[in-house]
Chains A and B, each alone.
Chain A
Amino acid sequence: MAILEVQGLKVMRGGRTILHDINARIAPGCVTALIGPNGSGKSTLMAAMAGMLPPAQGRVMLNGTDLAKRSRRDLARELSFLPQQLLAPDGLTLRELLVQGRFPRRGWLKAWTPRDEEAVTRAVALCDLSGLMDRRLDSLSGGQLQRGWIAMTLAQDTPVILLDEPTTFLDIASQLSLLDLLANLRKDGRTIITILHDLNQTAQYADQLILMRDGHVAAQGPTSEVFTAQTIGQVFSVGARMLPDPVTGRQICLPASLPPAPSSSADQMQSDG
């Protein structure tokens, strides 16, 4: 049983086909990660899963109903999405930002309810922001701001959470605490779909993987089955070796460039499609 299901999805942007005939099923209560090289269509697929991009063909089903048939407000109560680049407005405090996460739940000028307050308080605690609530956004560091956006997304309190590269701007300790947060949210029964840069972090925290390449799904399934030297090597055009972690025994991927392959640092400069 899939909570989110992508059926024959084709997405065009500026006359170019970005996603070709994507079929994917997201299991409820799991962390699913989209991985693939830059420009493979991960972010586009995630935006389409959130109903932000109209499909040229196919559809995205959330709990058995087509996303395109729902109002934005209705959708925002069941699914939250944090895209990669959001502008931080001037003059807002962190608290004012988090309060906006309750917008989908609030009626026309309806007063702030204890439930709203509770959702915000929980998001603040989860993202470790309690001392910063009255700070202005422009006075926060990149990592604090990123945690602020994540907290706003969590304040939305939805069963399905989509996070596009949430670990960007975070130092390694914050990255790990965010990943633990994802694990906690899963324990809480939420369905999480995310894009992470680091392959080994992805493999450690994701239950399911969807591997993308050139706008196609190259492989999908449980991490234990698809996180192999062969699939990683094919999807990323690298040579990959797998080693067991000396402590946990978990598989760790060591990528190595193939002799004629372009350098990966030049690849990083491209924006992710």
Chain B
Amino acid sequence: MADLRHIPAFLALALGLAIAGLFHLRLGASPLSWAEVWGAVTAWQPENPAHNIVIEMRLPRLLSALTVGAALGLAGALMQGLTGNPLAEPGLLGINSGAAFFVVTGLLLVPGSTLSMLPWLAIAGAICAALCVVLNAGRAVGSARLILAGVMTGALFSALTIGILILDQQGIETLRRWLTGSLAFESAGMRQMVTPFILLAAVIAVANIPALNLFRLGDQAAGLMGLNVARFRLTLLLAIVLLAGASVATAGPIGFVGLVAPHLARLIFGTDYRLLLPAATLIGAGLLVLGDILARLAVRPLELNTGIVTAIIGAPVFIFLVVRRVK
């Protein structure tokens, strides 16, 4: 029953998320009043232009930010649990870059490709990049080599992506924004397509909570306690590539949310994965909503890419974590 004392913290997180969501609906290129936001949410009138901005434009974007942020936060928590490395996340380990490369290649080079192929392309790319990282990382838990393998994989796939785009001038124009991670397009259809993947990954994650808790003792001790380590690794890897693929398909490669969200969750809730997984998911969603608000406010009336904002905020956090670890 020790878990009851965490309920207030979770309520506070949910409340924070709701408030951030309301700000997300209100702020933007054309700032609205609270009355307009409230009116749109509670009594939508299609003929009211302010209501239309909220419901037709900002609400889908908010939902996409929530979905992608939650997927990235969960993916980061799973990756850190799987590798025992606090720096693991889909962005840093090149999984997002691999997914993006496959999407770009598929859309630009395969004739007759449609948007409905995009989630599959992204997941295939995530699998490919994950294999690249795993095969190069060696077996040592928590090793710097894992991060090096990830950075290398990310650089390789980014370079390949740029190479393809340079050959295709048209492609650069259409994919320029998407490639740095953006929520600025119409993403409702894509969000619906990737939701089943995210739900499947969430089920895998929840089913693996006891194993994740055991795995904190390292793979040797986990094996001694009867965990099928190979199966555990494989199912978690599947969940991670589904989450990374789904988020890249929806919003392009967005880094650092997967790194920062589990760390914040651990600061509040400790290392128990029963608390850590839901907390990292909520915090990931909240961070991306905040990032998206900043992206739209910073250079108003233009907007920054959300991926750029998360990188600007996330990079110092990353450096802080590395310095604290080296010390």
Query: Across the interface, do A109 and B228 meet the contact criterion of CB distance under 8 Å?
Result: no
A104 is an interface residue with CB less than 8 A from chain B: yes
Encode contact with A along B191-213: 1 for CB under 8 Å, 0 otherwise.
Answer: 00000000000000011011001
Q: In chain A, residues 69-89, which have Cβ atoms closer than 8 Å to a Cβ of chain B?
A: 71-77, 80-81, 83, 86-87, 89
Q: Looking at A77, A83, A97, A103, which has the most chain B CB atoms within 10 Å of its CB?
A: A103
Residues of B within 8 A of A72 (CB): 223, 226-228
- Residues on A with C-beta less than 8 A from B225 are 76, 100-101, 103-104, 156
Cα A104 to Cα B214 with chains together (Å): 10
Q: A86-B217, A92-B271, A109-B207 given. 4 additional CB < 8 A pairs?
A: A76-B224, A83-B224, A89-B271, A101-B225
Q: List 26 A-B contacts (CB under 8 A).
A: A50-B224, A52-B224, A71-B226, A73-B228, A75-B226, A76-B224, A77-B226, A81-B224, A83-B220, A86-B218, A86-B220, A86-B221, A87-B217, A89-B216, A89-B217, A89-B218, A89-B271, A91-B266, A92-B216, A92-B271, A96-B213, A96-B272, A97-B217, A103-B225, A104-B225, A109-B207
Taking CB atoms, residues of chain B closer than 8 Å to A74 are 226
Complex: chain B residue closest to A108, CB-CB: B207
Question: Does B270 count as interface, using CB distance less than 8 angstroms?
Answer: yes
Give chain A residues whose Cβ lies under 8 Å from the Cβ of B207: 108-109
Residues of A within 8 A of B (CB): 50, 52, 71-77, 80-81, 83, 86-87, 89-92, 96-97, 100-101, 103-104, 106, 108-109, 156
Chain A nearest CB from B230 CB (Å) reads 10
Contact of A100 with B226 at beta-carbon distance under 8 Å, contacts A86-B220, A89-B218, A109-B207 already known: no
With both beta carbons as reference points, the residue of chain A lying nearest to B224 in the complex is identified as: A81
Q: Which residues of B contact A103 (CB under 8 A)?
A: 210, 214, 225-227
CA–CA, A91 to B216, complex, Å? 10
Tell me the minimal C-beta distance from A251 to chain B in angstroms: 35
Nearest first, the 5 A-B pairs at minimum CB distance are: A76-B226, A73-B226, A104-B226, A103-B225, A91-B271
Q: Which of B206, B223, B266 has the most CB of A within 10 A?
A: B223
A50–B228 Cα gap in the complex (Å)? Answer: 15
Contacts of A101 in B (CB 8 A): 225
Q: Convert B258-283 into 0s and 1s, putting 1 for each residue whose CB lies closer than 8 angstroms to a CB of A.
A: 00000000100011100000000000
Residues of B at under 8 Å CB distance from A?
Answer: 141, 206-207, 209-210, 213-214, 216-218, 220-221, 223-228, 266, 270-272
Contact of B228 among A71, A86, A90, A100 (CB under 8 A): A71
Nearest A residue to B209, CB-CB: A109
B224 touches A100 (CB 8 A): no
Specify the chain A residue showing the minimal Cβ separation from B228.
Answer: A72
Indicate which residue in B218, B224, B228, B272 contacts A87 across the interface (CB closer than 8 Å).
B218
Residue in B216, B223, B225 whose Cβ sees the most chain A Cβ within 10 Å: B225
Chain A residues whose CB sits within 8 angstroms of the CB of B141 once the complex forms: 87
A101: nearest residue on chain B (CB-CB)? B225
In the complex, chain B residues whose CB is within 8 Å of the CB of A90: 271
A89 cross-chain contacts in B, Cβ below 8 A: 216-218, 271
* A72 (CB) vs chain B CBs: closest residue: B226
Report the Cα distance A97→B220, complex, angstroms.
14
CB distance from B280 to the nearest CB of A (A): 15
CB A138 to nearest CB in B, in angstroms, measures 12
Shortest distance from the beta carbon of B268 to any chain A beta carbon, whole Å = 13
Residue pair A100, B270 in contact (C-beta under 8 Å): no
CB distance from A245 to the nearest CB of B (A): 37
Contact of A106 among B206, B210, B220 (CB under 8 A): B210
Complex contacts, B266 vs chain A, CB 8 Å: 91
Contacts of B223 in A (CB 8 A): 52, 72
Q: How far is the CA of A7 from the CA of B137 in the complex (A)?
A: 37
Question: Contact: B210 with A109, CB < 8 Å?
Answer: yes
Tell me, in angstroms, the Cα distance from A238 to B217 when the chains sit together. Answer: 40
- Chain B residues within 8 Å of A109, by CB: 206-207, 209-210
* Chain B, residue nearest A87 (CB): B218
Write the chain A residue with the least CB distance to B270. Answer: A91
Residues of the A chain whose Cβ atoms lie less than 8 Å from the Cβ of B209: 109
Instruction: State in angstroms the CA–CA spacing of A226 and B272 once bound together.
Output: 49
Q: Give complex CA distance A39, B228 in Å.
A: 30
Separation of A92 and B266 alpha carbons in the complex (Å): 12
Q: B217 and A80: CB pair below 8 A?
A: no
Report the minimal beta-carbon distance from A139 to chain B, rounded to whole angstroms.
14
* Contact of A80 with B216 in the complex, beta carbons under 8 Å: no
* Measured CA separation A75–B227 after assembly (Å): 10
Residues of A within 8 A of B218 (CB): 86-87, 89
Find the B residue at minimum CB distance from A106. Answer: B210
* Cα distance A72–B37 in the bound complex, in angstroms: 57
Distance (whole angstroms) from the CB of B84 to the closest CB of chain A: 8
Q: Which residue of B lies closest to A110 (CB)?
A: B210
- Nearest to A50 among chain B residues (CB) is B224
| Chain A residues whose CB sits within 8 angstroms of the CB of B226 once the complex forms | 71-77, 103-104
The distance in angstroms between the C-alpha atoms of A161 and B218, with both chains bound, is 20
- Closest residue on chain B to residue A73 by CB atoms: B226
Closest residue to A83 on the B side, CB-wise? B220
Q: Give the distance to chain B from A97, nearest Cβ to Cβ, in Å.
A: 7
A100 to B213, alpha carbons, bound, how many Å? 8
**B residues in contact with A86, CB < 8 Å:** 217-218, 220-221
Q: How far is the CA of A90 from the CA of B216 in the complex (A)?
A: 9
Q: Which residues of B contact A87 (CB under 8 A)?
A: 141, 217-218
| Nearest chain B residue, comparing its CB with the CB of A103 | B225
Contacts of B227 in A (CB 8 A): 72-73, 103
